[in-house]
Each structure stands twice: as structure tokens, then as C-alpha cells.
């Protein structure tokens, strides 16, 4: 997860918590629910960023494995 993705997700989470708390204090149910929705959106943003990072790590491992395999074949041909 990039720092930028973490900051965006954390900011969305904080925004949601503040909005939800304000809705709770003022008795505004819609504001509270919208804040909770933003918190769920932040959770999804965190999950998506983590998935992106894991996918990139997998791609890097596959590239490394392919490079190693090609080097082994070259060594056998020499």
C-alpha cells in the first residue's frame, strides 16, 4: 500500500468518524449513516490498496522466477 493510498484511506476514515459522531450528537440520523458509509468506503480503500500491493509483489516474484529460469536455460546452452 503506497503512502498516498494510506493517507487517502485514513483521511476518509477520519472524515467518516467525525461525520458519524456529529450526526450522533445532533441527532441527525442521515449524517450519522453517511459518516458510517464513509468509514466503510475507507475500509474498502485500504483493502484495495493492500490487494494492489500483493498483486505487485506477485508480479515481481514471477518476473524474478522467469529471469532465473531464462538464466538457467542460457547456462545449459553454453
pLDDT per position in the chain (78 positions), as tens?
A: 688 988 999 999 999 999 999 999 999 999 999 999 999 999 999 999 899 999 999 999 999 999 999 999 999 998
Residue 1 has a pLDDT of 63
Q: Closest Cα partner for 47 from 3, 19, 5, 4?
A: 5
Residue 9 has a pLDDT of 95
The range of the structural domain enclosing residue 57 comes to: 3-77
27: left (phi over 0), alpha (psi -120 to 50) or beta: left
The answer to whether 18 and 69 have CB atoms below 8 angstroms apart is: no
pTM of the predicted model as reported, rounded to 2 decimal places:
0.74
Residue 25 has a pLDDT of 98
Amino acid at each position: 500500500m503506497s503512502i498516498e493510498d494510506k493517507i487517502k484511506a485514513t483521511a476518509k476514515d477520519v472524515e467518516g468518524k467525525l461525520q458519524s459522531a456529529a450526526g450522533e450528537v445532533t441527532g441527525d440520523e442521515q449524517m450519522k449513516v453517511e459518516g458510517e458509509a464513509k468509514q466503510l468506503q475507507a475500509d474498502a480503500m485500504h483493502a484495495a490498496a493492500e490487494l494492489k500491493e500483493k498483486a505487485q509483489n506477485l508480479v515481481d516474484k514471477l518476473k524474478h522466477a522467469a529471469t532465473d529460469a531464462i538464466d538457467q536455460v542460457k547456462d545449459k546452452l553454453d
